[in-house]
Structure 1
Amino acid sequence: MLTGTVWAGTVQADNPFDELDSEVTAVYSSAQTEQEEYLQFVLAYMNEYENWRSQYLREYDAYRAQIIEKWGDGLVSEPLVTVDYSRDQKTRTVVDLERNEAIVAVLVEPNMLPEEAEKAVKQAAKTVMGESGSTLASVVESPKVLESGSVVMVEVNYSNVTETAAKKVIQAQTRTQLQEIEKESEALVAQLGATVSTDLIDTPVVASAIEKKKVQLLQQEQLRIKKLEKTYQIVRQQAAKQPPKTVMEYRIKLPANGIGKRAAKYVGFAEQESQRFDIPAALVMAIMHSESSFNPKAKSPIPAYGLMQIVPTTAGRDVNVRIRRKDEPMSPAELYVADVNVETGTAYLNILDKSYLKAITNDESRLYCTIAAYNTGAGNVAKAFNPDGSRKIYKAAKIINSMTPQQVYDKLMADLPYDETKHYLKKVSTRIRLYEKHSA
């Protein structure tokens, strides 16, 4: 029997548990190191996105400042409105597929007579029509359409109303990019899932990184708005010292049946990728209709590109990693190629349907969630169902699987975090039925 004295002496002289203590310490130290390394990796990975986004926004704002100086309104492309400027930025072409009209405009030179300005803008319209790859040429089948256009002279406007509209573009851009940050994190977690322990994935590391990036983006928004205000202040001062600037516009009504003819060009791509990725062709067509109105050169300020409005660093990179086996964003040049864009968009729908949302058992319920996730990410879909606001889709799937498809749709329409996504879900769901009927 060991006495207290002998035990004490043994501990002091040669503790048999010293080795165990050091091993336990090493395990905890290793776990802490792994956690820290994981955090650093997540932040570094997300910084790649941040650097890309910051560079894009700097170039975007610098270009827009030039446009504001010349044209007043800083008009740039949106998904359904393509805006192109000539190299010297003195000619502008706007193709609005929502209003079904196009406007070719030229800045009127000082001392130019109205009839000279009218002649110049009509010539500009013919020039744009003759340019290879121009959006106007792609939606106007015959130059004869130009003959029905009307000419209007307008003054360049640097008003507060114009400035407010320019600010709203930045605010809308920020709202959408907040969602893209969430999509980036989802792709990162999915990519790490096979190589990092589940308990690390479930820690708040990624959530913390997301919030940090969101705060930075919102701070950047305020700086961008202040810079925009300064731009308008400067151009107003300049304008006050000069005669009023005017623009001659040539307004053209586009053919009424244009969307049907544009859609027909891409049915083959949709059907081909539908078979390859097991995604309904009607869904692919409905998303093209809603995202770009079948304009392969569509661009939004996010930025997103092409027929299915692919963001290079989120959906583009996700498809590259999973399908093409390369970890890099896609380029705008790639995404302006129609078949590549449709392939990428359909592959991303497959990733959402077969991977991120696979725990949802009912096909129709999963379809509604896939449509919403295409716009806002799977995490925001989960938030609509999880009472605690969790972004975990497996947790949300348990709730979704207890509901009917109609209940799922109604819940999404009521509780999705962004109104834009609610409108998007309604539009695409309605248009799916249109293309199902068309193909029947």
Structure 2
Amino acid sequence: MKYSYLLLSLGVLGSAPLYAGDPFADLDKEMSLYEQESVGSIELEDSFQKYVEARELEYQTWQTQYLKEFDQFQNELINKWGEGDVSQKDRNVEFSEDKNVKSVVDYQAEEVSIAVLVDKDLSLEEAEKQVKVQIDQLLADKQSNIARIFEGDSSIKKGKVSVSEVQYSDEKKQQMQDVIIKQTQAQAQEIDKKTDRAQLPDSPLTESQSQQLAVKEKQQLLESSQIRIDSAAENYDKAAVEAVPDKKVVLYKVRLPKNSLAKRAAKYSGYAEKEGQIREIPAALVMAIMHSESAFDPRAKSAVPAYGLMQIVPRTAGHDVNKLVRNIDKPMNKDDLYVPQINVETGTAYLDILDKRYLKAIKNDRSRLYCTIASYNTGAGNVARVFNSDGSRSINKASRIINKLTPDQVYQQLMFKLPYDETKHYLERVNSRIALYESKT
């Protein structure tokens, strides 16, 4: 297979990935579909070719700059900590400006940790003093993840201190490369979401043209990802060899405050109710998506990159809402997406676009809800693939099949046939969490 070189990363990484499922196999399967789509494509017309070149240049410029900064940041962390620990879903990671202090809020484990790099010869007593000084500074900084979590709560004083060496390992190297693989998967799905715009009536491109353009962008993405995987391994090995053992890690761990999730959720329920009423979208759905995307952390960021409470990607969901709702034909500003009101407004508007534009041909409300949830994660075209036996991304074609099924049958087919395990788990989580908020919103 043309793109099987990404699977060679298995040889570089060694054992199986640490997270559930096999992202390499998923990615390989998805790329095989992209190859099929490109087979037999017609020569591009001159006007379309110019459009492609302009869009490719824009995408390449953004992608190159973002990924360069992301990889540089990871390398700086590796040189100091022996690992490239970055924020992911359900896990907010922040560093001090000099990267000597790391604070982590792990919503899934319901645990908070503050780690400080100190001189190796520092006594345990002095090391504990340093970490407590850093905790006080984080609490005083109202923009820090620690201050947001422990606002008005004294339980942060009940943690435990441990000390360890800075260590390099094959496992940590694998984790760093796994981040690139997951990032590549997520960015490929974001390209799919851009491709779905061709199915809207006002699209400047035909579906065929948009798909050809998507294939080109994915080719570039995969080529750059393979280079990044190889470079990451090389840089990690170099850092491990050149490491100077003059630092140790002082780690402070504490449980999240009691009822932390409920308290965070309460801060943003008003936004969900307001925007839900405006868009005729259930507030409970908005809350369930916030819960699943960010655990109600307004400063959440993932490596896609996606931002804020509802994890909006500026160039896809953000651009769709800007264009179709705000009449602004450009991506959103990431800083705006850290503003809770703007983020929830944008996320709810995107749900409305999925519900009333992309998926409007689905007649049953419950069936359309399942498809909307899955589309929020992976795009409406990937949802259409589940029901179109020929792999077509046509939503209207899929809708004719969906309308012959019961909502339960729709849900089961999505859970069985969606291309990514991550999207299946997402649909399951969001759907189950809606009930948590139906009586509270």
Give TM-score, length-normalised by structure 2. 0.88
Q: Distance in 1 between matches of 2:76 and 2:253?
A: 24
- Equivalences for residues 126-275 of structure 1 within 5 A: 126-142=136-152, 144-187=154-197, 189-190=198-199, 193-194=201-202, 196=204, 201-202=206-207, 204-239=208-243, 242-243=244-245, 245-275=247-277
Question: Residue type matched to 1:209 in 2?
Answer: L
Deviation at 1:34, TM superposition (A): 9.1
Pair 1:332-2:334 in alignment = yes
**Count of residues paired in the alignment:** 400
Do the aligned residues in 2 keep the contact of 1:156 with 1:244 (CA within 8 Å)?
A: no
Q: Is the 8 A contact 2:103 2:112 kept in 1?
A: yes
Q: Structure 1 unaligned runs (5+)?
A: 1-31
1:85 aligns with 2:112: no
Counterpart of 2:18 in structure 1 is: none
Distance 1:254 1:103 in 2: 10
Q: Which residue of structure 1 lines up, in the alignment, with residue 312 of structure 2? A: 310
Check the 8 A contact 1:46/1:184 in 2, yes or no.
no
2:98 is aligned with what amino acid?
D
Alpha-carbon spacing, 1:364–1:39, altered in 2? closer, same or farther (3 Å): farther
The reply to whether residue 376 of structure 1 matches residue 378 of structure 2 is yes
Q: Which residue type is aligned with residue 351 of structure 2? A: L
- Decide whether the 8 Å contact of 1:273 with 1:346 is kept in 2: yes
Q: Could you give the per-residue CA deviations for residues 214-266 of structure 1, whole angstroms, max 9, x where no partner exists?
A: 12111111111111112112111212xx3363100111111131000110111
* 3-state DSSP of counterpart to 2:224: helix
Other-structure match for 1:68: 78
Corresponding position of 1:410: 412
Query: 2:188 and 2:203 mapped to 1: Cα distance?
Result: 27
Match of 2:349 among 344, 347, 350: 347
Partner of 1:433: 435
Q: Distance in 2 between matches of 1:231 and 1:332?
A: 29
Instruction: Provide, for residues 111-158 of structure 1, a one-character-per-residue CA deviation record: whole Å limited to 9, x for no partner.
Output: 222211111011101110110211111111335222211001022121
Identity across the alignment (%): 49
Q: Name the residue aligned to 2:124.
A: 114
Partner of 1:20: none
Q: Which amino acid aligns with 1:232?
A: Y
In the TM superposition, residue 352 of structure 1 has moved relative to its aligned partner by 0.3
Partners in 2 of 1:86 and 1:143 — Cα distance? Answer: 23
Checking the alignment, whether the CA contact within 8 Å between 1:356 and 1:378 is kept in structure 2 is yes
Q: CA deviation at 1:43?
A: 4.5
Q: Is the 8 A contact 1:106 1:121 kept in 2?
A: yes
Matched residues in 2 for 1:383 and 1:46: separation?
A: 25
Question: Match for 1:412: what amino acid?
Answer: L
Question: How far did residue 33 of structure 1 move?
Answer: 11
Q: Which residue of 1 aligns with 2:25?
A: none
Pair 1:366–1:216, CA change in 2 (3 A): same
Establish whether residue 99 from structure 1 lines up as the match of residue 101 from structure 2.
no
Q: 2:359 maps to which residue?
A: 357
TM-score (norm 1): 0.88
Structure 1 vs Structure 2 CA RMSD: 1.7
